Amino acid sequence: MDETVLFVDDDRLILESSKDLLASRGIAILTANNAEEALALFHQREIEVVVSDNYMPGMNGLEFLSRLRELSPDTVKILMSAYADLASALAAINRSEVFRYILKPWQDEELVGVVEEGINRYRLNLSMRIEDENVLRSLAQTIELKDPSTKGHCDRVAVYALMIAEALQIPKELQRQIKYGSWLHDCGKIGISEIILNGNRQLTDEEFETMKKHAFWGAEVAAKANLSELARNIIHYH
């Protein structure tokens, strides 16, 4: 498997046993002794699935997984803990912060099964996101066909916007929405006549007023497509 699983626990024996178990099934695994060490790993590389104990010194597992929602939103999150933590674990699952819960001590086949479910969930989510992004980019490129002078413009806007977002350390999920809004910021041009878009002349006052409406029309399209408020605002106010 190409995906990497990170196991986080303050008990070294648990880390070693889980590492041996998962490695024997062909699963690539990293380990961390605490949440802070785990967060440092996320700053260094992509990690597809994380399995974290709840009770750990310093930051507990629920707080750690909550932090990951911004740092690594695509990572599938699995929580381990004792029976006494069941209520808080179920609450986290209901808030969609945690994919699965494992009761300690676990059965080996149960742990392997849950981790494999997590990997499959990651693959499914990735596949769906790629399909969605392909649709959005195709829409942006279709709109550019109406206005050949702007070919590649939407991609360039997205590249520059993401460079700024990265420099400002904006969370990954928000960066994704910025990318979508950048790709589609001109989608309202679908309602503008090609005579206005491609006319090699100064626009009349009436044509200029029509041209200005493309941002509003684009935001309406984005709303019907259920894009996020951030993406809609980028389209509306660009």
Q: How big is the CA angle at 118 (ends 117 and 124), to the nearest 5 degrees?
A: 90
pLDDT at 96: 60
CB 70 within 8 Å of CB 172: yes
Give CA–CA dist 215/139, Å, rounded.
Answer: 15
Q: In CATH, what number is assigned to the domain containing residue 202?
A: 1.10.3210.10
Is residue 133 helix, strand or coil? Answer: helix
What pLDDT is attached to residue 41? 93
Mean pLDDT for the stretch of residues 129-140: 86
- In which band, very low, low, confident or very high, does the pLDDT at 42 lie, cut at 50, 70 and 90? very high
Other C-beta atoms within 10 Å of 105: how many?
A: 9
| pLDDT at position 91 over 70 | no
Tokens of 151: 């070919």
Alpha-carbon distance of 236 to 195, in angstroms, equals: 23
Q: Which CATH number characterizes residue 31's domain? A: 3.40.50.2300
Same domain? 75 vs 30? yes
Q: Is 133 within the bounds of a domain?
A: no
Structure tokens at 128: 């769906």
Of 78, 108, 123, the position where a domain reaches its end is: 123
Do residues 12 and 112 share a domain?
yes
Across the chain, what does the average pLDDT equal?
A: 86
Residues 105 and 164 occupy one common structural domain: no
